[in-house]
Amino acid sequence: MNKIFSAITTFVFVMLFATISCAQTNNQTSLKIALTKQSKSYTGWIERHEENVEFFNLYEMNFNNAMRLLAYCDGLILTGGEDVFPGFYNQTSDTLFCGTIDKYRDSLEFAVIDMALKLKMPILGVCRGEQILNISQGGSLYVDIPSEYDTSVVHRQKDWKNCYHQVSLVEESDLAEISAVTMGDVTSNHHQGIKKLGEGLKITAYTADSLPEAIEWEVRGNKGFLMAVQWHPERMDTLHPLSAPIAKEFLKEAELYRNR
């Protein structure tokens, strides 16, 4: 059975490789973007700023194929979704305060983050994506903001389409430079947030209650592009200064990575 399974896996990967190679031959200019869990809101957001993009949903692949395919991509988007298992930051006892947990997704995302960092591939994180990036660098989270953090700021509500709050940007950050604003209203939908900041990262936006809302490298140096936000830019107005510039900067970095 193991030999049969191995043969099937090999066949699938060969076909996948052939498809990618064909796409590269027929369309040399398309950007190839991997998403950890794809949805139309994310692909539509990116396509509003660049039509010539191929998307790959890593979550729908088995682990080995997802890792192999990532190497052919020009950028990685860590999308929103389930809570990250708190055992990854030594708070297993707080699992009771979590919602849905997907340990396969956790393990997949930690692995692709590690690979993307080694490849110096551009990484963009949204909501859960910001949180797991922070954890991957040794950081931790407030497992449940309403019960752990005294605040009047509403970070999540049932009507998530109208859950807006203000964020203030930190000067001398890439986020402030590309957005050209000092503050703005953003839509969010989260009950967790950064508690301990991961190593090598810096906070680039805060809410009025001082919770971190965006991160990037403290010193980029020769590392790849990395930016992550707690809000949902893919759900915001196309031209919003805290949505469009983020997508455009990521796409610019992906193109530089492809052409390097």
- Quote the radius of gyration of the chain (alpha carbons, Å): 18
- Based on the residue annotation, tell me whether 232 is a catalytic residue of this protein: yes
- pLDDT tens across 80-120, in order? 999 999 999 998 988 878 888 899 999 999 999 999 999 99
Task: Name the catalytic one among 73, 98, 127, 163.
Answer: 127
Architecture of domain 32-259: 3-Layer(aba) Sandwich (3.40)
- Among the ranges given (37-46, 128-137, 142-151), the one the predictor scored with the smallest mean pLDDT: 142-151
Task: Name the catalytic one among 191, 232, 249, 253.
Answer: 232
The mean pLDDT of the chain is 88
Strands 226-229 and 123-126: parallel
Please state the rounded mean pLDDT for residues 123-138.
97
Would you state the pLDDT for residue 213? 95
- Based on the residue annotation, tell me whether 234 is a catalytic residue of this protein: yes
- Position 2 pLDDT exceeds 60: no
Would you state the pLDDT for residue 10? 47
- Based on the residue annotation, tell me whether 50 is a catalytic residue of this protein: no
Please state the rounded mean pLDDT for residues 247-260.
97
Rounded to the nearest 10 degrees, the angle between the axes of helix 244-259 and helix 40-47 is 80
Task: Name the catalytic one among 216, 234, 249, 253.
Answer: 234
Task: Identify the band that residue 164 occupies on the pLDDT scale cut at 50, 70 and 90.
Answer: confident
Would you state the pLDDT for residue 153? 67
Please state the rounded mean pLDDT for residues 175-185.
97
- Position 222 pLDDT exceeds 90: yes
Locate the domains of the chain by residue range: 32-259
